[in-house]
């Protein structure tokens, strides 16, 4: 096995203004404008390049590269292809079969065969003609790929949870701030306008002072039940042709290839994902943070217990109970039971928000009529044009999107600290300003993974 290398965390940058200032090289759009102006000879320009006949001019398009073209990666590509001012021009994956599908769907949409393919994400991260990168890899690859893209001058749409550890998501946030780049975390429930309205009701005091938020994270979907059936470690198999398994493992330990370890199923192994706690938890807890107005902070006390299947390939927790307490006394109480969603409970009533879809229920149903009640809300959270559209708009305007690096990092932190508290079997006291576990060296050591060489977060420095 290769020698491991400890994680190096860039220094924290406190500048979190709403406007992003970039110190990176000129974008493809500015390059196109300046280079075309310098041409001294006639040349043919297509109607689409000029923005004629319903097309968006090339100088106003955002060019996107996609790292990870599995199921979620293809979904994200589809969403960006719907935007007329977006052009997906490159795809990359360690599985040649996935990458082929990603290229084919992109070429079919573009009506050509120009979509480039990359086996190494580092080459895409430094490509001069790419404005932004969409990261849809397994969670353990989020940080390294995103940081390489940020240092390559790219804005990044990164799937949730922002990273597979507290230290990694912290580093992603800090590098984005240092480089003046934008990150949109893929917590798309935050862009559900019904959810935003519900959080406005809560923050406007329509249910009185909130004292409790109940989090329901059941593990009863068909894929959960299928994973729970695996009570052993399956036999080792040959790595399929076209799949760079060592690259897929990345910074994690070298282990034998087992099909149920990789595509899709990786989320139930703590080396690559965090189980349901970071899967749907990254959506539901994220909305709790929004409704409580705690996007730049989090709970200070973590109590959690859970259970996993002993002897299974999967070591994620299937059952859990947790109580996370904020400095103001509000308690976030979670359990592995349904219905999936969250419930804000205040002195004067409650609001239940279902996930997915943000269907609302309340002790005061009359408040759920948005047309009648929106104007009376003291707090206005704005409305989203759609999560992917919001990212594109932010890339163009340089204003922060709805799910910033800071927001994604704080939500991921809560999820990971609950898993750490379960693993250690004891309470954790968290300092959300210094971002350390108080008086617990063992817990702090679990905030960051040990990375197998040659991988580290220093790529591009």
Question: Among the residues of 39-192, which ranges form H helices?
Answer: 47-50, 71-81, 96-110, 121-125, 142-151, 166-179
- pTM given for the model: 0.89
Phi, psi torsion values for 381, nearest 5 degrees: -105, 0
* 384/333 Cα distance (integer angstroms): 28
Average pLDDT value over all residues in the chain:
90
Give the model confidence (pLDDT) of 41-98 as tens digits: 334 444 444 444 455 666 789 999 999 999 999 999 999 999 999 999 999 999 999 9
pLDDT in tens, 295-342: 999 999 999 999 999 999 999 999 999 999 999 999 999 999 989 999
Residue given tokens 């390059």 in the structure block: 31
Residue 425 CB-density burial (10 A; 0-12 exposed, 13-18 middle, 19+ buried): exposed
Q: Are strands 341-346 and 331-335 parallel, antiparallel or unpaired?
A: unpaired
Q: What is the pLDDT of residues 97-144, one digit of tens each?
A: 999 999 999 999 989 899 999 999 999 999 999 999 999 999 999 999
pLDDT number for residue 457: 87
pLDDT digits (tens, 9 = 90+) for 214-270: 999 999 999 999 999 999 999 999 999 999 999 999 999 999 999 999 999 999 999
What domains are defined for the chain?
4-38+47-189 (3.40.50.720), 192-381+406-436 (3.30.360.10)
Q: What's the pLDDT at 48?
A: 46
Burial of 382 (0-12, 13-18, 19+ CB in 10 A): exposed
Percent of the chain with pLDDT over 90: 85
Nearest in space to 121 (alpha carbons), one of 144, 155, 153, 105? 144
Backbone φ and ψ of 416, nearest 5°: -70, -35
Q: What span, in angstroms and rounded, lies between the C-alpha atoms of 42 and 40?
A: 7
């Amino acid at each position: 096995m290769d020698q491991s290398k400890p994680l190096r965390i860039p220094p924290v940058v406190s500048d979190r203004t709403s406007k992003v200032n970039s110190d990176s090289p000129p974008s493809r759009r500015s390059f196109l404008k300046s280079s075309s102006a310098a041409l001294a000879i006639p040349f043919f320009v297509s109607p689409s390049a000029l923005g004629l006949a319903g097309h968006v001019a090339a100088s106003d398009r955002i060019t996107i590269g996609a790292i990870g073209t599995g199921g979620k990666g293809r979904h994200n590509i589809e969403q960006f292809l719907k935007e007329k001012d977006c052009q997906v021009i490159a795809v990359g994956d360690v599985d040649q079969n996935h990458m082929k599908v990603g290229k084919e769907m992109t070429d079919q949409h573009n009506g050509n065969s120009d979509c480039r393919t990359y086996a190494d994400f580092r080459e895409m991260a430094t490509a001069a003609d790419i404005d932004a990168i969409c990261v849809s890899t397994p969670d353990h690859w989020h940080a390294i790929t995103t940081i390489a893209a940020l240092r390559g001058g790219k804005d990044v749409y990164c799937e949730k949870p922002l990273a597979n550890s507290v230290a990694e998501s912290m580093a992603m946030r800090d590098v984005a701030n240092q480089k003046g780049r934008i990150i949109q975390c893929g917590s798309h429930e935050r862009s559900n306008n019904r959810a935003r309205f519900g959080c406005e009701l809560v923050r406007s005091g329509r249910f009185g002072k909130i004292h409790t938020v109940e989090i329901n994270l059941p593990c009863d979907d068909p894929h959960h039940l299928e994973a729970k059936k695996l009570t052993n470690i399956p036999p080792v198999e040959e790595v399929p042709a076209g799949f760079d398994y060592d690259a897929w493992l990345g910074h994690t330990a070298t282990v034998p290839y087992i099909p149920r370890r990789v595509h899709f199923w990786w989320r139930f192994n703590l080396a690559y994902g965090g189980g349901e706690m970071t899967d749907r938890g990254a959506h539901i807890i994220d909305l709790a943070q929004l409704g409580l107005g705690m996007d730049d902070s989090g709970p200070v006390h973590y109590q959690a217990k859970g259970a996993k299947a002993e002897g299974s390939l999967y070591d994620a927790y299937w059952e859990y109970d947790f109580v996370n307490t904020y400095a103001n006394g509000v308690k976030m109480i979670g359990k592995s039971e349904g219905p999936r969603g969250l419930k804000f409970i205040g002195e004067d009533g409650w609001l239940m928000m279902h996930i997915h879809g943000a269907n609302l229920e309340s002790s005061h149903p009359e408040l759920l009529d948005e047309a009648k009640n929106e104007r009376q809300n003291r707090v206005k959270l704005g409305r989203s044009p759609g999560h992917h559209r919001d990212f594109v708009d932010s890339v163009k305007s340089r204003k922060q999107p709805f799910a910033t690096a800071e927001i994604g990092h704080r939500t991921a932190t809560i999820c990971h600290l609950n898993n750490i508290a379960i693993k250690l079997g004891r309470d954790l006291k968290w300092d959300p300003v210094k971002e350390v576990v108080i008086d617990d060296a063992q817990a702090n050591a679990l905030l960051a993974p040990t990375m197998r060489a040659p991988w580290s977060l220093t790529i591009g420095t």
